[in-house]
Amino acid sequence: MKSRYSALALLKAAMFPGGGTPAWTECEPKTRYDIVIVGGGGHGLATAYYLASNHGLRNVAVIERGWIGGGNTGRNTTVVRSNYLYPESARLYDFSLKRYETLGRDLNFNIMLSQRGLMLLAHSRHDLETHARSANAMWMNGIDAELLSREEVASRVPLLDVSAGARFPVLGGLNQRRAGTARHDAVAWGYARAAHSLGIDIVQNCEVKGFLKGGNGGVCGVDTTRGRIAAERVGIAAAGQSTVLAALAGFQLPITSYALQAMVSEPVKPCLDTVVLSGATGTYVSQSDKGEMVMRGALDFYASYAQRGSIAVGQNVIGGVISLFPALGHLALLRQWAGIVDVVHDSSPIISGTPVENLYINCGWGTGGFKAIPVGGWTFAHLLATGASHELAEPFQLQRFTSGRLIDEAAASGIAH
Ligand SMILES: Cc1cc2nc3c(=O)[nH]c(=O)nc-3n(C[C@H](O)[C@H](O)[C@H](O)COP(=O)(O)OP(=O)(O)OC[C@H]3O[C@@H](n4cnc5c(N)ncnc54)[C@H](O)[C@@H]3O)c2cc1C
């Protein structure tokens, strides 16, 4: 085990500097593992951690082509919430939010969870009706929800333009208080450190280029830029590249990949203490701990594997945010970036076996898989360890595309994060 982080350890390190140990050490890939996970994002790392902590499996490697957390996990706008419509999704995402609530302690790593709430604005009578339906669904599913009047929204978010002349009138809001943000890098690093301390190998700068197959056509390992690695089971958790890896293994996924971009302004003093989301403008905004305004909008318009966003979509995001918060129009834009997200037609994830024996996949989280890292890891570890679907993940298998039992969360993952 790694030494524990604590106030005392911090004091000791301050008094006697230079004695620290790395959070995890770089590993040379071995020639054989029980389980290989392709992709060192949040989902891959969480899967590795739960394989060791929940199932006692330690002969496991996470194979990452770049650096851990360098994919969507390190590019996302860090919103966590569980305000979904259908019971299957509500169960899945609320399990995840509950795990987030104790994750800092579980991993002994400060993930900077900030349950500052998420306010979905209603700009029309139709929005009010839709919000009432969502709130009812959330209450039925045992999830906290509040319907707010225009005045209550105005008092919670004083920076918002709720004046009669506002470009987008505000008629009310749907709030989830337990929603909020968590630090993305810390989630990846926390899982990596905890997994490594339980014996998991984390191999960076190692790209999986193909799959090794046995006599029966099942997968028995991976072919990588650092050599062949045998494995009894292989799990893919490589958002943005899921379709590419599936094609290498010889099957197709019902997924289209798009660029999704985000941006931050220059930092300013604290002025927004919740996450505000507006369906009509297709944008949302929160303020980071550093003071930057973190903004995001819709997907880019065309399918792509390029990790950059188009100017037109970026302009829409900025225009939308400024029409809601005119005061932010004075700020300079500091950075813009994009990730590639895997979008499934019913806007729900896939945690499933595949048509290829011994090969499993966790993908299709689209624009909203950061909030699902704990449950994605938990249920994918269960599947890889036991070969059977975890009850929470059971509705999210590939079979739903042949049975027709889709879980259409397009409304709840709308602009979707
Ligand atoms: C701009 C943006 C904003 C977002 N905002 C939110 C939000 O606010 N809330 C939310 O819940 N979600 C959000 N998301 C979605 C969220 O980021 C993703 O759903 C989630 O991070 C997916 O995690 P992952 O571990 O599956 O994938 P990733 O973090 O992308 O990790 C996959 C890893 O696989 C690696 N890989 C790929 N191919 C190979 C290969 N052949 N060999 C080895 N390694 C490989 C990649 O390098 C990558 O590191 C956002 C996404 C973006 C892009």
- Three-state secondary structure call for residue 113: coil
Q: How far apart are CA 246 and CA 264, in angstroms?
A: 34
Strands 201-203 and 180-181: unpaired
pLDDT of 417 above 50: no
- For the chain, list the domains and their CATH numbers: 28-110+183-254+346-413 (3.50.50.60), 118-180+257-344 (3.30.9.10)
What's the pLDDT at 255? 97
pLDDT in tens, 176-207: 999 999 999 999 999 999 999 999 999 999 99
> Up-side HSE of residue 19: CA atoms within 13 Å toward CB?
10
Position with higher pLDDT, 298 vs 142: 142
Mean pLDDT of all residues in the chain? Answer: 95
Mean pLDDT of 278-299: 95
- Three-state secondary structure call for residue 318: helix
What's the pLDDT at 332? 97
Residues flanking ligand 1, CB < 6 Å: 38-44, 63-66, 70-73, 75-79, 207-208, 237-241, 245, 260-262, 296, 339, 341, 365, 367-371, 417
Q: How confident is the model at residue 127 (pLDDT cuts 50, 70, 90)?
A: very high
What's the pLDDT at 50? 99
What's the pLDDT at 413? 61
Report how far ligand 1's centroid is from the alpha carbon of 260 (Å).
11
pLDDT in tens, 37-86: 999 999 999 999 999 999 999 999 999 999 999 999 999 999 999 999 99
Q: Which residues of 331-361 are buried (b: 16+ CB within 10 A; e: fewer)?
A: beeeebebbbbbbbebbbbbbbbbebebbbb
Neighbouring CB atoms inside 10 A of 4's CB total: 8
In this structure, of 5-19, 182-196, 211-225, the range with the lowest mean pLDDT score is 5-19
Which CA distances in Å does 56 have to 59, 75, 385? 9, 31, 9
Ligand 1 pocket: which of 260, 370, 375, 379 to mutate (most atoms within 8 A of CB): 370
Neighbouring CB atoms inside 10 A of 14's CB total: 8
Residue nearest to atom 18 of ligand 1 (CA): 369
Q: How far apart are CA 120 and CA 115, in angstroms?
A: 15
